Amino acid sequence: MRYISFHKDTSVFTLHTKTSMYQMQVGRYGTLLHLYYGDDLGDARIIHSIVNLDRGFSGNPYEADRDRKFSLDVLPQEYTAEGNGDYRIQGIEAEHEDGSHVLQLKYDSHEIRKGKYALAGLPAMFAGEDEAETLEIVLKDELSGLCVKLLYGVLWDCDIITRTVEVVNRGKTNITLRRVMSAELDFPKRPMDMVHFYGRHSMERLTERQPLHHGIQSVESKRGISSHHHNPAVIFCDHTATEDYGECFGIAFVYSGNFICQAELDQVDQTRVVMGIHPYQFAWTLKPGESFVAPEAAMSYSGTGLETLSHHFHDGFREHLIRSSYVKRPRPILVNNWEATYFEFNEEKLYGIAKAARDVGLEMFVLDDGWFGKRDSDYTGLGDWYVNEEKIHGGLPKLVKKIRKLGLKFGIWLEPEMVSEDSDLYRKHPDWCLRVPGRLPVRSRSQLNLDVTKKEVRDYIMEQIFKVIDSCQADYIKWDVNRALGNVYSQGVEAGKQGEVFHRHMLGVYDMMERLIGRYPNLLFETCAGGGGRYDAGMLYYSPQIWCSDNTDAADRLEIHYGTSFFYPISTFGAHVSVCPNHQTGRTTSLRTRGIVAGAGTFGYELDLEHMDEGEKKAATSQIAQFKASEELVQQGDYYRLSAPGDRSNSVFWEFVSKDKRDVLVAGVVLRSEVNPPVNLLRFRGLEPNLIYRERESGEEYSGAVLMKAGLALPVTSEDYESVVYRFEAKGEFESEKKR
């Protein structure tokens, strides 16, 4: 095999990606030790990293006899379990029928295969037979017969190693899993920061970076969605790491429900990181012969700073996770009526917006919430997926026909996982929602969660949704989720299986989405959860774009997009131009700035186009043309964060560079206009130093080296949130090409 090898004499496994290397060893007593993760070191085997010392109060396995220097409490390992003298955070915890919790996991066997493993019913990265390899290592607990298969998928080209585990009960008694992490990663002593993305509804994925402290720190969601509050993607890097310097490790969970990412700095300054389904209310009983597959985690390493780490994830997700054919195709530029009308519209109003959209050059009309059931407000109607004829006289097909006649495509909003108590569906099937009988449920946005662990519920909802899509031949679907899970109890599931409900709910959602994209492979599919409450790699397996945030304010979006960009490709950012003063913040930014910020995303409009004056309409038309001219670069180029919210530059700038380095877009916003301002030199990155780059509008020419080392002086601005754009193209040949 090319990427994975096993060295028999030393029992060392080595995984190679294009620039990184990952190594482990079957050590004494069958312990799977972790040796190394970092820059590619060729044939080297880092066995000297295991140093055994006698450490007080760290126990020794019985087999070690008088060897007090072998203690699992301090050894770096691949996947750990309860009851072996390792008191750190662990990979797996299971309860046996006798009430004990001990698992002694020893190396049993391994297999190296071509191609990348897949996971039935779960999102996972994929690759061609020759692009990836899989390593499966089986660890076994001899007494109970429980086997843990560790799966490693090596995606060479994008420097990603995926991981997950499958737990199989090969014993004779039931075993209840209480905790199954998808990945565990031990680091030797090194000073590290944790970079994670926290937030709240309408202000998601804000960046926080702090040094690891001794003890456990974690980010997590117990909300049944990956959440606005913490994102299941975390970076561990050197204290000194910057965008283009230092060692960084990223781990992203390919899952959209409850998660936990914990990091523990231990007694001897080593760090253990785990990522997996949150153990909160999790219990999964395996009968003999049964198995449980954990969701996937994707890891990457960069030895050259955060931007390279982002490139690995961006390339990896674009090439090996997002299945939609839209991943590299221009997407119809849309207008969405939500912020234009909210719930108050009729077919004339919608048609008016569509007509204005056509006039400015837009390509698709998206009908948001409020078109179905008795949905005049967010108190009613969810679950009744048939048109509200009081608002749309003559039904959907008639309206859609008129809209299509304008030359526009048509998209529609749905919220399939929810039900309003004031709905025909709820009146008929009150037991189809998650709730504990006899207790009053917690409402959120006045709605309840449908119990999609039940197949009959999924079948019913999908049938209704297919009818809607077929009736209007929708080109686009926005699939929303406007509350977290609450009262997580499935009626009809026995008491002993309630610990499965959170995960089974997520599996139900994935099943519904799989059915949708299976039936309509050409549909443009955008997922959403009150904005970015489910912005994760799991969702990207189904939808090529996700609505970033319910906050459409361009100034706030700078911060939201900045945080989102560390793991997720820019082509996935659902971003629209909305009206000012902004409905969420009351802030006013120029139409130009709103266009430039939304242009580093999927781009579209979400305002009443009929109310735009002629000047604004003209500006919109030229914004659309500009976006189209850069869409391919935005979708497929390498992304660089040139300045950051909160740094001393008083600006947020970003850059897209085409893979051949000939096409460059730099854009950004100067935050505050300043009196007597400092000169702000913006240094580009990722260019070819010897190439001459010509700015399209001004005609100015600079070498790549000048743009990267000296930078360009940003213009002095005269109002807050003024935006700046440069588009450079390379002239002539590379020096190296000339000589040939």
What is the C-alpha radius of gyration for the chain, rounded to an integer number of angstroms?
27
Residues at the site binding ligand GLA, with contacts judged by CB under 6 A: 338, 368-369, 413, 480, 482, 528, 530-531, 547, 550
Query: Whole-angstrom Cα distance, residue 119 to residue 125?
Result: 9
Q: C-alpha distances in angstroms, 567 versus 113, 327, 500, 665, 668?
A: 28, 16, 29, 20, 20
Judged by beta carbon, residue 413 or residue 639, the one nearer ligand GLA is 413
Report whether 207 contacts 311 (CB < 8 A): no
733 is catalytic: no
> Tokens at residue 342, please?
């909210």
**By beta-carbon distance, which residue lies closest to ligand GLA?**
369
Judged by beta carbon, residue 528 or residue 579, the one nearer ligand GLA is 528
Least CB distance to ligand GLA at residue 530 (A): 4
Region class of 280: left (phi > 0), else alpha (psi between -120 and 50), else beta:
beta
Least CB distance to ligand GLA at residue 278 (A): 24
Tell me: cis bond preceding 416? Omega within 30 of 0 counts: no
Provide DSSP, 87-150.
-S--SEEEEETTS-----EEEEEEEEEES----TTS------TTTEEEEEEEEEETTTTEEEEE
Q: Of 86, 166, 319, 536, which one is the catalytic site residue? A: 536
Query: Whole-angstrom Cα distance, residue 367 to residue 611?
Result: 18
Least CB distance to ligand GLA at residue 480 (A): 5
Judged by beta carbon, residue 6 or residue 386, the one nearer ligand GLA is 386
Q: Of 608, 616, 632, 720, which one is the catalytic site residue? A: 616
Judged by beta carbon, residue 15 or residue 367, the one nearer ligand GLA is 367
Least CB distance to ligand GLA at residue 382 (A): 10
Judged by beta carbon, residue 338 or residue 726, the one nearer ligand GLA is 338
Query: Whole-angstrom Cα distance, residue 118 to residue 131?
Result: 14
39 is catalytic: no
Least CB distance to ligand GLA at residue 211 (A): 35
> In terms of C-beta density within 10 A (0-12 exposed, 13-18 middle, 19 or more buried), how is residue 120 classed?
exposed
Judged by beta carbon, residue 169 or residue 388, the one nearer ligand GLA is 388
Least CB distance to ligand GLA at residue 607 (A): 13
> In terms of C-beta density within 10 A (0-12 exposed, 13-18 middle, 19 or more buried), how is residue 389 classed?
exposed
Strand partners, 236: 194, 249
Least CB distance to ligand GLA at residue 612 (A): 20
Element spanning 25, H or E? strand 20-26
Judged by beta carbon, residue 576 or residue 592, the one nearer ligand GLA is 576
Which residue type does 726 have? Y
Report the catalytic residues: 536, 616
